[in-house]
Structure 1
Amino acid sequence: MPSISRKGSSMPESPIRKLVPFSEEAKKKGVKVIHLNIGQPDIETPKVALDAVKNNTLTVLEYSRTEGSETYRDKLAQYYAKHDIQITAKDIIVTTGGSEALAFALNSVLDIDDEIIIPEPFYANYNGFATAAGIKVVPVVSKIDSNFSLPPIEEFEKLITPRTKAILICNPGNPTGYLYTREEIKKLANIVKAHDLFLISDEVYREFTYDGKEHYSILQEEGIEQHAIVVDSVSKRYSMCGARIGCLVTKNEAVIRTALKFAQARLSPPTYALIASEAALETPQEYFDKVKEEYQARRNVLVEELETIEGVKIGNPKGAFYCIAELPIADADDFARWLLEEYRLDGETVMIAPAAGFYATEGLGKNQVRIAYVLDKESLKRAVHILKQALTSYIG
């Protein structure tokens, strides 16, 4: 029998989606599953974006331009200018989701067996993208006790080898909700300049910052223009996860030229989704203000409720809409599966994402879970109540 590739065999499963069959089986039995496992917001997509598709008069659904239309990229540049990021349309390649932007970035700046340093825990699919590109993830551990802040610069320095080509961060972070400070970005800037590395920043949660704190992009940092690559997306910003439109942004012309070749190989991003995304740029600021206020309130409820559970430790997020919780158990994978297969409270259970899949270091995160606070406040309270009762039963 023909065998599949070593690359295919080594591709990691998604810790977020691998439990879906158990969730679906529970639902078939009439169980209500409250989803804390996936970052699918319940916030409504801006009406202006949906109307642009509904009212469209296209008679032929043509290919779009490989790098995205010039009008859309011009408007994107104007959007970034509002965030004190000075770029032009030529610095942008529109992609099929932020995922493709990251894949283009990795394949454009790293060769097979090259190394990329990533603070862990990190978005689980970074492992998958790295495997697909044939590159090695070198993790540097950030800890829940320090709220997942940037590890000491000395820890980065220890990991740099002749094969190291880039550092990748997510800011604000998925799965931790950590928001990097201006000072931390400057420290990273000094490292990439000193060692001639790329700094790739996944900034898809830029709008979601709390407690009066502001996001500081690597594209705002002077002196690293040739090192900085930003990955972005409309998915979370406009609650348009299904649109699958993102972009790669950099002032490094060689990176743009190279990424464009990868983009040409996949032809073009989806036309209707581009129409919706361009229209979404007209979304008024009050939309974002209300969404941020709602997420901050949800975060507060989630953290307050989790703190009532004995033995639970929480990383307090300053951005995005996730948090990592450390539970008084040995194996979060087993607990998450048990919740779906066996535990019921008044016909309900909860679905969580085991956090081990967000680490590259074997053994880390085994007793941690990622919780997405994308549900309304009452649902979050109910979910944590179920989780609290479930832990008592599971430990007992």
Structure 2
Amino acid sequence: MPSISKKGQLMPQSPIRKLVPFAEKAYAEGKTVYHLNIGQPDIKTPQIALDAVKVHSLDILAYTRSEGSDDYRKKIANYYSKNNINVKHDDIIVTTGGSEALLFAFGSIMDVDDEVIIPEPFYANYNGFSTASGVNIVPVISKIEDNFALPPIEEFEKLITPKTKAILICNPGNPTGYLYSKEEIKQLASLVKKHDLFLIADEVYREFTYDGAKHYSIMEETGLDEHAIVIDSVSKRYSMCGARIGCLVSRSKEVIQTALKFAQARLSPPTLAQIASEAALATPQSYFDDVIEEYQERRDVLIRELKSIEGIKIGEPKGAFYCIVELPVKNSDAFAQWLLEDFHIDNETIMVAPAGGFYSTPGVGTNQIRIAYVLNQKSLVKAVRILKEALKVYKD
């Protein structure tokens, strides 16, 4: 048969989704599976967004502008202004999820074999986006012992080469839940200005910060107009993962003009999802207050229960809704599969995301898992107790 591309062969599997066949088999066997593997919130989507789709008056489901509708982008700009980020609607391109925004960013600023420096562990699909774009990830390792804080800025600087085009962070972090401080953002800003690089920040979890901490966006930093690119999405903010609406934001006219060419090539973002997302911007603050309170309580329950397990290390999150846990196992991929295939308590088991796929350095993170605390508190307690009992009997 004709050969598959090298790019296709190198494309990594998702550590979040690759175990789905084993979960489906567990379901077929009548087991209950607690999903700790994927960041699909169980929080209800704002009714105002669902109603906007139900009652729309469209006669033709037509294309919108490639950069997204004017009205929606103006309302996004207004949302940002309320978060101390001053941008115009022309600084925004609406995309099909944050994923497409990342692909547009990579395509706009990097050529084949160029390099992007990323603190790892990082969102697993960065590996896929880099492979699809022919770009090389240069990792700088953050450690669970430091709660995945930003590595020393000197570690970044010594990795910069003539091929380096950008530094990419996720803030708050997926999969770590780490929230970068204002001082850490300022250090990165100073570095990219010194070496004339782009700073890309994936800020889709901006609302989800705990213990009174505040998110500081790279767009709040002065002097970064030609350097800063923000990736955003409605998926987690409004519990609208299936809408597949995101955006790329930059004050750099050259970045926006270039990204627009990629947007034109795919025609337009989905029309109905834009209608829902535009309506969602009118969601009252009380919705977020309640959601953040619930997630903070879930985090506290999760950490409390995990601390009852001997021999593990925990990265305690300050934002988003993820947690990295280091287990006393050699291979978390094998352990995660075993949980679905061979272990249950009263016909209940758990599905976790092996954390090796959140690194690009070979052999790192192979004894870690990512837990998404998107289940209710009662289910989280059950799930961690299953994990605790499983570790007692598991043999590598």
Scaled by the length of structure 1, the TM-score of the pair is 0.99
1:21 aligns with 2:21: yes
State how far apart, in whole Å, the 2-side matches of 1:89 and 1:148 are: 34
Q: Given residue 26 of structure 1, which amino acid in structure 2 is its aligned partner?
A: A
State how far apart, in whole Å, the 2-side matches of 1:104 and 1:375 are: 32
State how far apart, in whole Å, the 2-side matches of 1:339 and 1:141 are: 28
State how far apart, in whole Å, the 2-side matches of 1:2 and 1:75 are: 49
> C-alpha displacement at 1:57, in angstroms?
1.9
Structure 1 runs (4+) deviating above 6 angstroms are none
Provide Cα deviations, 1:328-364, integer angstroms capped at 9, x if missing partner. 1111000000000100100000000000000000010
Q: What residue in structure 2 maps to residue 212 of structure 1? A: 212
State how far apart, in whole Å, the 2-side matches of 1:312 and 1:377 are: 21
> C-alpha displacement at 1:58, in angstroms?
1.3
Q: Given residue 74 of structure 2, which amino acid in structure 1 is its aligned partner?
A: D
Provide Cα deviations, 1:163-194, integer angstroms capped at 9, x if missing partner. 00000000000000000000000000011000
State how far apart, in whole Å, the 2-side matches of 1:279 and 1:341 are: 43
State how far apart, in whole Å, the 1-side matches of 2:344 and 2:213 are: 39
Q: What residue in structure 1 maps to residue 223 of structure 2? A: 223
Q: What residue in structure 1 maps to residue 112 of structure 2? A: 112
> C-alpha displacement at 1:393, in angstroms?
1.0
State how far apart, in whole Å, the 2-side matches of 1:157 and 1:226 are: 20
> Structure 1 stretch 349-358 or stretch 51-60: which is displaced more?
51-60
State how far apart, in whole Å, the 2-side matches of 1:54 and 1:39 are: 26
State how far apart, in whole Å, the 1-side matches of 2:194 and 2:61 are: 48
State how far apart, in whole Å, the 2-side matches of 1:74 and 1:56 are: 20
State how far apart, in whole Å, the 2-side matches of 1:330 and 1:207 are: 35
State how far apart, in whole Å, the 2-side matches of 1:35 and 1:119 are: 26
1:367 aligns with 2:370: no
Q: What residue in structure 2 maps to residue 324 of structure 1? A: 324
Q: What residue in structure 2 maps to residue 10 of structure 1? A: 10
State how far apart, in whole Å, the 2-side matches of 1:11 and 1:329 are: 26
1:338 aligns with 2:338: yes
Give the paired residue count. 396
Structure 1: give runs of 5+ residues left out of the alignment.
none
Q: What residue in structure 2 maps to residue 140 of structure 1? A: 140
Q: What residue in structure 1 maps to residue 38 of structure 2? A: 38
State how far apart, in whole Å, the 2-side matches of 1:13 and 1:326 are: 21
Q: Given residue 239 of structure 1, which amino acid in structure 2 is its aligned partner?
A: S
Q: What residue in structure 1 maps to residue 97 of structure 2? A: 97
State how far apart, in whole Å, the 2-side matches of 1:324 and 1:37 are: 11
Provide Cα deviations, 1:73-104, integer angstroms capped at 9, x if missing partner. 11000000010000000000000000000000
Q: Given residue 270 of structure 2, which amino acid in structure 1 is its aligned partner?
A: P
Partner secondary structure for residue 159 of structure 1: coil
Provide Cα deviations, 1:280-327, integer angstroms capped at 9, x if missing partner. 000000000000000000000000000000001100000000000001
Q: What residue in structure 2 maps to residue 296 of structure 1? A: 296
Provide Cα deviations, 1:104-159, integer angstroms capped at 9, x if missing partner. 00000000000000000000000000000001000000000000000001100110
1:379 aligns with 2:383: no
State how far apart, in whole Å, the 2-side matches of 1:225 and 1:353 are: 37
Q: What residue in structure 1 maps to residue 198 of structure 2? A: 198
State how far apart, in whole Å, the 1-side matches of 2:30 and 2:168 are: 42
Q: Given residue 87 of structure 2, which amino acid in structure 1 is its aligned partner?
A: I
- What are the residue-to-residue correspondences of 1:139-178 with 2, within 5 Å? 139-178=139-178
State how far apart, in whole Å, the 2-side matches of 1:99 and 1:157 are: 27
Provide Cα deviations, 1:41-92, integer angstroms capped at 9, x if missing partner. 0000000000000111212111111101111111000000010000000000
State how far apart, in whole Å, the 2-side matches of 1:158 and 1:278 are: 43
State how far apart, in whole Å, the 1-side matches of 2:183 and 2:275 are: 38
1:74 aligns with 2:78: no
State how far apart, in whole Å, the 2-side matches of 1:56 and 1:76 are: 20
- What are the residue-to-residue correspondences of 1:248-263 with 2, within 5 Å? 248-263=248-263
Q: Given residue 313 of structure 1, which amino acid in structure 2 is its aligned partner?
A: K
Partner secondary structure for residue 98 of structure 1: helix
> C-alpha displacement at 1:395, in angstroms?
4.0
Q: What residue in structure 2 maps to residue 58 of structure 1? A: 58
1:130 aligns with 2:155: no
% identical equivalent positions: 70
